[in-house]
A = this chain, B = another copy of it.
Amino acid sequence: MNHESKFQREKFLNHISLDCVVFGFHDNQLKVLLLRMKFTKEWALPGGFVKEDESFETAATRVLKERTGLDNIFLKQFKVFSDPQRSKINPAVQDLIDSGANPDQEWFKQRFISVGYYALVDFSKAEPQSDYFSDLCAWKSLNEINTLILDHLQILNKALENLRMQLNYQPIGYNLLPDKFTMPELQKLYETILGKELDRRNFQRKMLSYNILTRLEERKTGGAHKAPFLYEFNLENYQKALQNGLYGGW
């Protein structure tokens, strides 16, 4: 938290913020990275502001690097949240007041327009770091999340909706799974995102038909039953599928 101990509002564009819904996958559950506000102890999405010479993408990348230590994260802009009332009661302000520090209360009293991003990251590689306003940064399972500050729950739900949509025309997994993974693990990921079960055999056939997977000779040992094959993504084809989409539609 050292690097942000002095919050410099001059560097940022007024009115403008971004919020990130960071998805990870662990224990067969979809996790979201959240921050706990120092004083109010409410939970919030990681977010930030845009410097005067930054694009939103750069700013979001910077924020994610700070919160997870990771570069090269899959990032997708999914919606702008601009309800004039959305940032009326800002817990960050409350935190600043409670802290007695109040360096920049005025800044936080602004109306903020926030651009929502969702990110897909490898759970095992991320190292959650809290920020100036929070005392804890942690993964939460979706079903554990009941309330968030401001409209962050709404932002989270919209992100999830968009992620589910993405499954229908783009591959997913490279950013959420370790380099080597089994077919059942990939299937679990899909089932978790979609919130429903899929047929094991049909899933495998469909997934293989995309030609984005390479089956390795290795198998995953240590499990209690038959050892499944390990797969890795064929990055070249994966990128192509990301670009061109999986279905034609028309």
Q: How many copies does the complex hold?
A: 2
Please determine whether A111 and B250 come into contact, CB atoms closer than 8 angstroms: no
Q: Which residues of A, 49-104, contact B by the 8 Å Cβ criterion? A: 50, 52-57, 77, 79-80, 82-84
Interface size class of A (residues with CB under 8 A): 20 to 34
Q: Pick the most buried of A80, A83, A194: most chain B CB atoms within 10 A of its CB.
A: A80
**A57 vs B82: C-alpha distance in the bound complex, in angstroms?**
8
A13 CB–B CB distance under 8 Å? yes
Complex: chain B residue closest to A198, CB-CB: B250
Please determine whether A79 and B77 come into contact, CB atoms closer than 8 angstroms: yes
Q: Which residues of A, 196-250, contact B by the 8 Å Cβ criterion? A: 198, 245, 247-250
Complex: chain B residue closest to A206, CB-CB: B250
**A112 vs B79: C-alpha distance in the bound complex, in angstroms?**
18
Please determine whether B249 and A168 come into contact, CB atoms closer than 8 angstroms: yes
A149 CB–B CB distance under 8 Å? no
A167 CB–B CB distance under 8 Å? yes
Chain B residues whose CB sits within 8 angstroms of the CB of A168 once the complex forms: 169, 247-250
Given that A14-B15, A15-B13, A77-B79 are contacting pairs, would A113 and B250 also be in contact in the complex, using a CB cutoff of 8 Å?
no
Partner of A83, one of B16, B55, B167, B245: B55
Given that A15-B14, A52-B111, A249-B168 are contacting pairs, would A80 and B82 also be in contact in the complex, using a CB cutoff of 8 Å?
no
**A100 vs B20: C-alpha distance in the bound complex, in angstroms?**
45
A115 CB–B CB distance under 8 Å? yes
Please determine whether A56 and B82 come into contact, CB atoms closer than 8 angstroms: yes
Given that A15-B16, A56-B113 are contacting pairs, would A250 and B194 also be in contact in the complex, using a CB cutoff of 8 Å?
yes
Partner of A15, one of B15, B54, B84, B247: B15
Question: Which residues in A have some Cβ–Cβ distance to B below 8 Å?
Answer: 13-16, 50, 52-57, 77, 79-80, 82-84, 111, 113, 115, 165, 167-169, 190, 194, 198, 245, 247-250
A-B contact pairs, 11 of them (CB 8 A): A13-B15, A14-B14, A50-B82, A52-B84, A52-B111, A55-B82, A77-B79, A77-B80, A80-B115, A167-B250, A168-B249
Instruction: Using A56-B80, A168-B247, A168-B250 as known contacts, list a sample of 14 further A-B pairs with CB atoms less than 8 Å apart, ordered by residue number in A.
Output: A13-B113, A14-B15, A15-B16, A16-B16, A52-B84, A54-B84, A57-B82, A80-B115, A167-B249, A167-B250, A168-B169, A168-B248, A169-B169, A194-B250
